[in-house]
Amino acid sequence: MAITATPTPGAKLLTPQDHTLVMIDFQSQMAFATHSIDPVQLRSNAALVANAAAGFKASTILTTVAEKSFSGPMFEEVTAPFPGLKMLDRTSMNTWEDAAVIARINEIGKSRIVLAGLWTSVCIVGPALSALDQGFEVYVIADACGDISTEAHNRAMDRMVQAGARPITALQYLLEMQRDWARTDTYDMTTGIAKKFGGGYGIGITYAKTMFGAHEG
């Protein structure tokens, strides 16, 4: 039987309206021992994700563990795009075991969960496997997560993927929500975030626009 292609996006692609982003434990105490990714790159990727979610108005939860007593405040790059958003502090390593977080998940009411945070093997694996068990779709922003070693991060990603989680990257998260450069209402925001936090891609955008006024689409 012949298959007919249509110019429509696949159902598994993320949109700003179809998921809840949960950013977990981007805190100094957790970052000190993170060695699977350069800390500057980690902060930049986390900032890119936070700014993308805020810019596209994706439902977002920020949560910390033992903020006052042990782990310290969340990175300013993550909190700044969400002025007034209450952070949910936990005692549990597994975010999915915290009643306040789950109440917020249920209040938002979306079946797709996107995760980013520290550490991959504990604070991301816990909610990822728990959410999958309860029937949620789970996406993990791999380069906006980190762990005490590359081995720990990689094995954690393997474990989540084997269970059904879908790995993505920070820049992919931003561009997947934009998806079409003809969407002029979010064009400047998307390229602005990419220029500021998108590494070499952002440098390329700056060069193209400055030297010859290039414009995607």
Query: Is the Cβ–Cβ distance between 145 and 124 less than 8 Å?
Result: yes
DSSP 33-47: T--SS-HHHHHHHHH
Q: What angle do CA 201, 210, 177 make, to 5 degrees?
A: 40
pLDDT of residue 205: 76
Phi, psi of 165 (to 5 degrees): -75, 155
Rounded distance, CA 18 to CA 113, Å?
9
Average pLDDT over residues 92-120: 98
pLDDT of residue 202: 78
User: 148-195, pLDDT tens digit by residue?
Assistant: 999 999 999 999 999 999 999 999 999 999 999 999 999 999 999 999
pLDDT, averaged across the chain: 94
By CB atoms closer than 10 A (0-12, 13-18, 19+), residue 174 is: buried
pLDDT of residue 76: 95
Question: Position of tokens 């108005």?
Answer: 57
Domains along the chain with CATH numbers = 19-179 (3.40.50.850)
pLDDT of residue 70: 76
Computed on alpha carbons and rounded to an integer, the radius of gyration of the chain in Å comes to 18
pLDDT of residue 69: 66
pLDDT of residue 87: 94
pLDDT of residue 203: 79
User: 26-75, pLDDT tens digit by residue?
Assistant: 998 888 999 999 999 999 999 999 999 999 999 999 999 976 767 789 99
Using CA atoms, how far residue 178 sits from 12, 60, 110, 216, in Å, is 15, 17, 20, 12
pLDDT of residue 217: 60
pLDDT of residue 64: 95
pLDDT of residue 215: 67
Average pLDDT over residues 102-110: 98
This prediction has a pTM of 0.94
pLDDT of residue 72: 83
